[in-house]
Structure 1
Amino acid sequence: KLAMIPGIGPITASALVASIGDAKNFDGGRQVAAWLGLVPRQHSSGGKSNLLGMSKRGDTYLRTLLIHGARSVIYRVSQRADACSWISSVVNRRNKNVAAVALANKNARIAWALLAHDRQFDAGYVHSTAVA
């Protein structure tokens, strides 16, 4: 399931499954990303939030695999002429390394969602809330 996510191959997928184990032990995708060290470090006080760079805490091996996979996706998107995806807009706004960490964070959250809810990857998936 995880190897279908762009930027995650068989090695990264098997390492994620082996390290995470039961995804339901985590409350959400952000908790998995924080566990991997892919979220900004906070230095906040008194209601004033100050976000610093990537925390770099957690599993170095998994974080490296996710970031390298994200870099390969960014490289492939930059080669296409009709690149109008989320990652191309991030690359246009920010540095490529910042965009790679953002995509790695997004992939970690998607991986948690697929494992926790036992779903297949769908690139066009839109979460719909139940309307009563």
Structure 2
Amino acid sequence: AIIGIGPITADAMVASVGSAREFKNGRQLAAWLGLVPTQHSSGGHTRLGTISCRGDAYLRTLLIQGARSSLQRAKVVSAEKSTPEQIWIRQLACRLPFGKVLVAIANKHARQLWAMLAHEETYDADAWLQHPMVQRPAGKYAITVSAMA
């Protein structure tokens, strides 16, 4: 199971989105939910603003609350037992403000849920290892965690 996504969030996602085939990809779903920054561009300058807050406010709230749970869990789990997503969350929390970290996690969860719904698959935490662009690590995950402890 995805840490931070429980039965209430999953039910709300299915009720709001359905099979998710209306969206071309997870990025479109995240944009529809308002989990992406607004863009103010003029000439050669691109400025990103706050999240757009469009779409289903209830579902966005549930995803943000689930992100809080994921962040809290990533902070307390030991480095040896961390999943790659928890390592990513801890690295993100070191360099970004709290609110931006929550939105980034919620965005990632929305994309993961889109993939699960669109492809009718269950969650597999190690699926990223099967991607052809990923170099196979020597150890379990072979990611240095000493800087995050």
- The TM-score with structure 2 as length reference comes to 0.79
Q: Cα offset for 1:45? A: 2.7
1:91 partner amino acid: A
Q: In structure 1, what is the equivalent of residue 104 of structure 2?
A: 102
Query: Which whole-Å CA distance do the structure 1 matches of 2:44 and 2:32 have between them?
Result: 24
1:20 paired with 2:24, answer no
Structure 1 outlier segments of 4+, above 6 Å: none
1:90 partner amino acid: L
> Compared with structure 1, are the counterparts of its residues 47 and 29 closer, same or farther at alpha carbon in structure 2 (3 Å cutoff)?
farther
**1:19-38 correspondence to structure 2 within 5 Å:** 19-38=16-35
Deviations 1:14-47 (A, max 9, x none): 0001100121111110110011100001111334
Q: In structure 2, what is the equivalent of residue 113 of structure 1?
A: 115
Q: In structure 2, what is the equivalent of residue 46 of structure 1?
A: 43
Q: What secondary structure sits across from 1:43 in the alignment?
A: strand
**1:47-126 correspondence to structure 2 within 5 Å:** 47-82=44-79, 85-126=87-128
Q: What secondary structure sits across from 2:42 in the alignment?
A: coil
Deviations 1:76-106 (A, max 9, x none): 1112342561000000011122111100000
Query: Which whole-Å CA distance do the structure 2 matches of 1:72 and 1:58 have between them?
Result: 22
Where do 5+ consecutive residues of structure 2 fail to align? 134-149
2:3 and 2:69 in contact (8 A); partners too: no
Q: Percent identity among equivalent residues?
A: 53
Query: Which whole-Å CA distance do the structure 2 matches of 1:102 and 1:124 have between them?
Result: 20
Q: Which has the larger radius of gyration?
A: 2
What value does the CA root-mean-square deviation take over the aligned residues? 1.5
